């Protein structure tokens, strides 16, 4: 036992966490005693300090800091790669430095929180099935939709993209790993910490945080202690994002294989490069907004107390300066996935590759100029509305370029409509709708009427579900054979797509209508005139939820016993498909040389990269353009 507690791992994490609570208890009571504050023990104080500090103890216990501390203290460090790569399933529950292991960890943890967040959505819909109170009181209801949004944004969409890119990106650019493998591990381990903290808020006295994922002050400042769980959990999720983004940036800039110029990078790499720029620049702003709330709550700073010179609108400006770019953080990696899937499954180069890359950068730049379009009715200075409307509408132009180029990529291709492709094509259509309602919302006169209504709820779900979620599904099905070495069940994949596609629309399309008709969002009760549509929406949403169980079943069963996939089942040109599935522990025997563009389908004899093929890896089953380079 003692030996186990000395080793990094769960036992030590538990011991350290308990130690952490005791330290926080001592710190709080000690300081209160020293300054003669009465009473000496204050549960709220201990809890808030613990929320900040215990996660660090946990991360230390699980082993995120061992190497660095050893190195910093001048002791010998052994670079034996003992924590690199997974030999059994148990290794996925340990701190690991292999980007492929971390990628899988990211994806599985994100989907775990996706299912919980989805369950919360079912609860919301059950409550809203008819007017009046069904299952939960208003406090619980506000908590459930707040946690639904928070989990799906901070613990699913953002990290699952980081997970997919973690797995695929180093392989794509011909790198043996990410630039900072230990930082990569730390980034991952902060996620379950943040997610667990958010869920634990249900146990807080006064209930979970219930001010929405936007946590507007002063509602969040006056709220019960559950709000602190949000305020602090977001810090950990944000720190995780920033560290990963830095890691991607350095990896992409410095670790590309010889010959991999920027304009030979696959668009997924471009997409994550752009996303990482957004994350690094924007995420500190949400950290600031939440620290201000925390300081107001815990220490009476009066940032948001107008009676003492505080400014309530400042919260919204700082919050949205992150949270609008966050929408692109939740979309750009998906854009990259769609480009990969379309080119490979339509057997054609991505149409207008350079414009596709430039439009990503244009979205990054413009993404920082539009935040106040969330505040058209907030009471901010009226004049800001017109410039913000114009910049917002302009984003439709680079986004339009991407949509039209994807359609043109399909044009005259040899299109294989399998599961990843269904999600990709479905995405283009649904995201177009979400984009159109976005342009409508940018128009101030209309926004004044529909902001804070179900029209907004419909729009964000067309963007984040019809948009991000569809791309995530395309990506998961597309790289499933690479990650597991096995093939998913195509039939179940198609059933999953069609059920999702149909009931996604039945669920969210009517929300446009009831929103314009006057149903506000974030309500547990509504006027009787909206009853029929809400019942239809609720029933449809349950079927939508059921469809995700088919996906879960398909993934688990196929991972355990699906047919062997081979190294390159899609006959793709990009580098990740030229190594075995799953790839060797250090990815490549020798670093590949890149000699051409990533999507030269249809060009006779075209090769993207030359690899020294390890003797034991057989050539892929499919023989197409890709076989030229083997």
Partner 1 sequence: MTGQSHRGAVTAKNWIALLAIIVVASAIGIAFMLALNWFPEQGSNVAPMIDTFWDVLVIVSVPIFVAVTTMLLFSVWRWRQKPGEEDLDGPPIHGSTKLEVIWTIIPTIVIAALTTYAAILLVDIQAAPAKGTRVVNVNGVQFAWDFETETPAGPVKSGRLYLPINEPVKFNVRSKDVIHDFWVPAFRLKVDAVPGITTTYNLTPTKLGTFDVVCAELCGLGHAYMRQTVTVLTAERYATVMAGLARASGAKPPAGGAAADVAGEKLFVSGNPATGATACGACHALKAAGTTAATGPNLDEMLTKDDAAAIMEMIVDPNKEIVPGYSKGIMPANYATTLTKAELAALVKYIDQSVHGKG
User: What part of residues 449-478 is at the interface with partner 1 (CB under 8 A)?
Assistant: 449, 451-453
Q: Which of 44, 378, 580, 630 binds partner 1 (CB under 8 A)?
A: 378
Please report how close the Cβ of residue 526 comes to partner 1 at its closest, in angstroms: 7
Please spell the DSSP secondary structure of 10-41, one letter per residue.
HHHHHHHHHHHHHHHHHHHHHHHHHTT-SSS-
Cα three-residue angle 225-226-228, rounded to 5 degrees: 70
How far apart CA 419 and CA 501 sit, in angstroms, is: 12
Nearest to 168 by CA among 474, 518, 493: 474
Cα-based distances in Å from 182 to 111, 168, 380 = 23, 18, 44
Residue 403 as a binder of partner 1 (CB under 8 A): the answer is yes
> With contacts defined by CB under 8 A, how many residues of the chain interact with partner 1?
97
In the numeric block, which tokens belong to residue 526? 């509504």
Nearest residue (CB) to partner 1, 288 versus 516: 516
Q: Which of residues 256-315 bind partner 1 (CB under 8 A)?
A: 306-307, 310-313
Q: Which of residues 324-363 bind partner 1 (CB under 8 A)?
A: 346-349, 351-355
Residue 205 as a binder of partner 1 (CB under 8 A): the answer is yes
Q: Which of residues 505-534 bind partner 1 (CB under 8 A)?
A: 513, 516-518, 520-527
Residue 621 as a binder of partner 1 (CB under 8 A): the answer is no
Q: Which of residues 136-155 bind partner 1 (CB under 8 A)?
A: 137-139, 142
Please report how close the Cβ of residue 385 comes to partner 1 at its closest, in angstroms: 7
Nearest to 260 by CA among 613, 592, 553, 606: 592
Residue 624 as a binder of partner 1 (CB under 8 A): the answer is yes
Q: Which of residues 583-602 bind partner 1 (CB under 8 A)?
A: 600-602
Nearest to 617 by CA among 585, 578, 591: 578
Residue 197 as a binder of partner 1 (CB under 8 A): the answer is no
Please report how close the Cβ of residue 160 comes to partner 1 at its closest, in angstroms: 25
Q: List the end-to-end C-alpha distance of the chain, in Å, as a whole number.
A: 51
The DSSP 8-state label assigned to residue 368 in this structure reads T
How far apart CA 240 and CA 197 sit, in angstroms, is: 14
Nearest residue (CB) to partner 1, 39 versus 379: 379
Please report how close the Cβ of residue 207 comes to partner 1 at its closest, in angstroms: 9
Q: Which of 206, 284, 485, 596 binds partner 1 (CB under 8 A)?
A: 206
Please report how close the Cβ of residue 423 comes to partner 1 at its closest, in angstroms: 13
How far apart CA 588 and CA 77 sit, in angstroms, is: 25
Which residue has tokens 């579900």? 465
In the numeric block, which tokens belong to residue 594? 């890149």
Residue 53 as a binder of partner 1 (CB under 8 A): the answer is no
Instruction: Select from 8-16, 185-193, 375-383, 501-509 the region that touches partner 1 (CB under 8 A).
Output: 375-383
Please report how close the Cβ of residue 347 comes to partner 1 at its closest, in angstroms: 4
Q: Which of 54, 101, 211, 228 binds partner 1 (CB under 8 A)?
A: 211
Please report how close the Cβ of residue 299 comes to partner 1 at its closest, in angstroms: 18
Please report how close the Cβ of residue 218 comes to partner 1 at its closest, in angstroms: 5
Neighbours of 69 (CB within 10 A): 12
Please report how close the Cβ of residue 431 comes to partner 1 at its closest, in angstroms: 10
Q: Which of residues 91-110 bind partner 1 (CB under 8 A)?
A: none
Please spell the DSSP secondary structure of 381-399, one letter per residue.
-GGGHHHHHHHHHHTHHHH
How far apart CA 599 and CA 355 sit, in angstroms, is: 15
How far apart CA 398 and CA 134 sit, in angstroms, is: 45
């Amino acid at each position: 036992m003692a030996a186990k507690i000395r080793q990094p791992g769960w036992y030590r994490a538990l011991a350290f966490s308990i130690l952490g609570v005791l330290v926080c208890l001592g710190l709080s009571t000690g300081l209160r005693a020293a300054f003669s504050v009465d009473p000496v023990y204050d549960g709220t104080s201990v809890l808030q300090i613990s929320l900040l500090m215990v996660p660090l103890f946990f991360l230390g216990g699980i082993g995120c800091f061992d190497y660095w501390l050893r190195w910093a203290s001048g002791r010998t460090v052994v670079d034996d790669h003992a924590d690199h790569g997974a030999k059994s399933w148990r290794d996925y529950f340990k701190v690991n430095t292999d980007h492929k292991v971390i990628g899988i960890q990211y994806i599985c943890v994100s989907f775990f929180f996706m299912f919980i967040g989805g369950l919360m959505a079912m609860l919301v819909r059950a409550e809203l099935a008819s007017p009046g109170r069904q299952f939960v009181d208003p406090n619980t209801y506000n908590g459930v939709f707040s946690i639904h949004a928070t989990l799906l944004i901070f613990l699913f969409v953002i990290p699952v993209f980081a997970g997919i890119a973690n797995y695929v990106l180093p392989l794509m650019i011909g790198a043996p790993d990410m630039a900072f493998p230990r930082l990569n591990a730390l980034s991952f381990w902060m996620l379950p910490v943040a997610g667990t903290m958010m869920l634990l808020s249900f146990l807080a006295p006064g209930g979970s945080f219930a001010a929405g994922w936007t946590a507007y002050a002063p509602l969040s400042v006056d709220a019960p202690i559950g709000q602190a769980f949000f305020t602090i959990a977001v810090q950990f999720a944000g720190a995780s994002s920033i560290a990963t983004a830095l890691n991607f940036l350095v990896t992409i800039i410095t670790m590309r294989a010889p010959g991999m110029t920027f304009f030979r990078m696959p668009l997924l790499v471009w997409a994550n490069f752009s996303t990482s720029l957004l994350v690094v620049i924007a995420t500190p702003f949400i950290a600031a907004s939440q620290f201000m709330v925390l300081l107001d709550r815990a220490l009476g700073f009066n940032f948001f107390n107008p009676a003492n010179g505080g400014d309530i609108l400042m919260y919204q400006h700082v919050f949205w300066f992150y949270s609008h770019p966050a929408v692109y953080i939740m979309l750009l990696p998906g854009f990259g996935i769609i480009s990969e899937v379309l080119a490979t499954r339509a057997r054609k180069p991505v149409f207008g590759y350079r414009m596709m890359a430039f439009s990503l950068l244009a979205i990054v730049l413009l993404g920082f100029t539009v935040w106040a379009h969330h505040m058209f009715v907030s009471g901010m200075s009226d004049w800001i509305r017109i410039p913000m409307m114009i910049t917002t509408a302009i984003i439709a132009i680079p986004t339009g370029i991407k949509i039209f180029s994807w359609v043109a990529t399909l044009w005259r291709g040899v299109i294989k409509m399998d599961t990843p492709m269904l999600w990709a094509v479905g995405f283009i259509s649904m995201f177009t709708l979400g984009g159109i309602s976005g342009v409508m919302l940018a128009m101030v006169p209309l926004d004044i009427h529909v902001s804070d209504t179900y029209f907004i709820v419909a729009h964000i779900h067309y963007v984040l579900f019809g948009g991000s979620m569809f791309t995530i599904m395309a990506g998961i099905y597309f790289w499933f054979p690479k990650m597991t070495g096995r093939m998913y069940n195509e039939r179940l994949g198609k059933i999953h797509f069609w059920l999702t596609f149909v009931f996604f629309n039945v669920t969210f399309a009517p929300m446009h209508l009831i929103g314009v008709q006057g149903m506000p969002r974030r309500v547990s009760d509504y006027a009787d005139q909206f009853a029929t549509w809400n019942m239809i929406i609720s029933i449809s949403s349950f079927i939508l939820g059921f469809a995700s169980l088919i996906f879960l079943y398909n993934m688990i069963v196929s991972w355990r016993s699906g047919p062997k996939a081979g190294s390159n089942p899609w006959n793709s040109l990009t580098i990740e498909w030229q190594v075995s599935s799953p790839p060797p522990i250090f990815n490549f025997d020798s670093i590949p040389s890149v000699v051409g563009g990533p999507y030269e389908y249809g060009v006779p004899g075209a090769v993207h990269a030359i690899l020294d093929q390890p003797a034991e890896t057989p050539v892929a089953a499919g023989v197409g353009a890709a076989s030229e380079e083997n």
